[in-house]
A and B are shown apart, each in its own frame.
Chain A
Amino acid sequence: MSQTSHGIGGLSYDAKKRPWPAEFNVFLALVILVAAFELVGRVFLGDSFLFNTRENVAGIFNEQRLQIIILQVSIVGIIAIGVTQVIICGGIDLSSGSIVGATAMIAMSFAQVATVNGNPNPKAMFIDYGWTDLPVIVPLLVAVGCGLIAGLINGLLIAYTRIPPFIATLGMMVTARGIAKWWSKGQPISFPTDSFAAIGKGLMPVFIFISLAILFQLILTYTKYGKHCYAIGSNEAAARMSGIKIANHKVLVYVIAGILASIAAVVLSSKNLTAQAGMGVMYELDAIAMAVIGGVSLSGGRGSIIGTVIGSLIFGVIISGFTFLRLDAYYQEMVKGVIIVGAVVLDQWRQRRRAVGA
């Protein structure tokens, strides 16, 4: 008998022939993509994509490029962690980019300094009230509060009025963008305190992204909440019959997504030292794209945070690769569109193949 058999009722099962986890394929795609850019770079430009080719810089890899790639994706990546949970649960969230904009504006207005270079801060929103140089916890709590309220409204609409998530979050997308513009009548809000500016400094966004990714990967794998996300996305009727409180769970999922978007807003506005009403435009679609590229199924029930993280890296490598090949930014946008549609087509194809195989 096979030593790997652990079936029930006398049926043997060879654990070695277990199918690969889907994340492995996504990782493979990342490796192939990097290799392709490396090859094209070597042949046509005589330069390396991945490795360090300069004499005056130490190190094997082109660390500068790698840092840019991961820094570029980490802020949208934070949003994508929330979006992944929403999609696994069978929903969609189009509002995250606008939540970033609104939260950045509102939080930043509580993080401003009173004086800039000895002069009163010209951009300070609440200088008349004396709300300047507040401890960093104030803008942080304000930000989390904004994300929580936005997510709560999304969740309550979806769970109790039963309107499609697409419509509910589309409404929130437009409304939150309106709030972002209204808050300072379209003016940018700048000059944050040092402690607020420290949140997004250097590689901090990467650190925050990775920590949150690990936290939520563990939550999705090892907690009731995670199990119920997959169950609801997989078969909502079955989940309801099993006694899972679907409405409560959906509200919680959208609240978490809203809070993650607001964390992204803090990191982004801190990194840029300013908040603008146009911040986060299209981030929701980038985040959805990262999730879908990472193997999260738009029909719900399948995917993981690890997959989304690898998906975000693929996203970053493509953008960085285009810059490396000295192609115009216009092409980047066009290709991004193709990738988003392509990833969904791939997902559909995977599902059909699975259905035929079953």
Chain B
Amino acid sequence: MSDIVLKTENLTKHYGGVHALQEANFELRKGEHVAIMGDNGAGKSTFVRQITGVEQRTSGKIWFDGKEVSFAGPIEAREAGIETVFQNLALADDLDVPSNLFLGREKVLFNLGPFSILDRKAMRKATEAALIRTAVKIPNLSSTIRHMSGGQRQCVAIARTATFASKLIIMDEPTAALGVQETAQVENIVRTLKENGEPLILISHNMRQVFDLVDRIVVFRRGKIVANLRKQDTDGNDIVAYITGAKTGQAELQAA
């Protein structure tokens, strides 16, 4: 149990009559990178929203970091050590890179409540260190997010996640809107995180990316987990078969 970072048991979510997620059992070990795949509406994002406290589950249990948890909201989940990179980037366009990295958790020189004086030098230094650690390339830290490319924005969002996520990082289609080079840059960051031993859940539609980056692949179909396979035990065709429902995979699931 001690090396399990995240575990869900019979996690279920109904939206009225729609069973978006049914009895999902999922485990993530320390240092492990797991991909979640599945068609649109298969329940991937629903699953993540229950874990990060964005929505409240209908039933089921979640253990995080050895304790049973029930997050009232995303901020609570974040404080517990789960950081999420959202599809729509949660960045403030008119702020520069350090301000975005430290948004909501600014370093201060003097604590005067809301009028606390910011420690801008320390934040800038920490930002530089964080970007170097995640191998993110940004030409100018002082320029606002508005002036950056989609890839650079995504890198800033990921660098923020990586800087503060103590225990788990979740990425929801981080490269969906990016070009080839920018995708490669984001993937390099993910590899860096792997080397650093940071556990990660990656939601992606990109088969090549998934096989390049993760250890294990979990497939969702119609709200249920239909496959849970180690990368070396499967291939692209196999995964597609699970996603489309050509294979149901209950047998493998029992074995795994």
| Chain A interface residues (CB < 8 Å from chain B) | 6-13, 15, 18, 219, 222-225, 227-228, 230-231, 233-235, 237-239, 241-244, 248-249, 252, 301-302, 354, 358
Contacts and interface: CB of A to CB of B under 8 A. Distances in A.
A230 B95 contact: yes
Contact of B93 (A222, A224, A301): A301
A103 B104 CA distance: 35
Interface stretch (B15-23, B30-38, B136-144, B239-247): B136-144
A301 B103 CA distance: 14
B94 A224 contact: no
Interface string B65-94: 000000000110011000000101111111
Contacts of B131: 8-9
Contact of B118 (A224, A233, A252): A224
A230 B106 contact: no
20 contacts: A6-B140, A8-B136, A8-B138, A9-B131, A9-B132, A9-B136, A11-B137, A13-B139, A223-B116, A224-B106, A230-B94, A233-B94, A234-B92, A235-B92, A237-B88, A239-B104, A241-B74, A248-B114, A249-B114, A301-B94
Given A222-B117, A241-B74, A9 B137 contact: yes
A354 B93 CA distance: 12
A241 B139 contact: no
Nearest to B143: A18
B4 interface: no
Interface residues of B, number: 40
A9 B146 contact: no
Nearest to B114: A225
A211 to B, nearest CB: 17
A249 to B, nearest CB: 7
Contacts of A228: 114
B92 to A, nearest CB: 4
Nearest to A237: B90
Nearest to A236: B92
Contacts of B108: 224
A248 B75 CA distance: 16
Contact of B103 (A8, A13, A244): A244
B99 interface: yes
Nearest to A12: B139
A241 B131 CA distance: 21
B215 interface: no
A302 B94 contact: yes
A358 B146 contact: yes
A284 B33 CA distance: 56
B103 A231 contact: yes
Contact of A231 (B89, B99, B118, B147): B99
Given A9-B132, A13-B139, A233-B94, A223 B114 contact: yes
Given A7-B139, A9-B138, A12-B139, A242 B90 contact: yes
Contacts, number: 107
Contacts of A222: 117-118, 120
A99 B108 CA distance: 34
Contact of A10 (B95, B128, B137): B137
Contacts of B93: 234-235, 301
A219 B116 CA distance: 9
B118 A223 contact: yes
Nearest to B107: A224
A219 B115 CA distance: 7
A7 B117 contact: no
B105 interface: yes
B135 interface: yes
Contacts of B137: 7-11
A53 B246 CA distance: 92
Contact of B147 (A10, A230, A239, A358): A358
Nearest to B91: A238
Residue in B92, B114, B128 with the greatest tally of chain A CB atoms within 10 Å: B92
B116 A238 contact: no
Contacts of A238: 89-92, 103
Contacts of B75: 241, 243
A243 B115 contact: no
Nearest to B120: A222
Contact of B115 (A225, A241, A242, A301): A225
A50 B106 CA distance: 46
A238 B95 CA distance: 12
Given A10-B137, A242-B90, A358-B146, A223 B132 contact: no
A13 B128 CA distance: 15
Contacts of B143: 18
Contacts of A219: 115
Contacts of B139: 7-8, 11-13
B95 A8 contact: no
A8 B152 CA distance: 12
Contacts of B105: 242-243
A243 B105 CA distance: 8
Contacts of A10: 137
Contacts of A230: 92, 94-95, 99
Given A223-B117, A224-B118, A225-B115, A231 B90 contact: no
Contacts of B138: 7-9, 11
Contacts of A241: 74-75, 86, 90
B136 A301 contact: no
Contact of A224 (B78, B114, B132, B136): B114
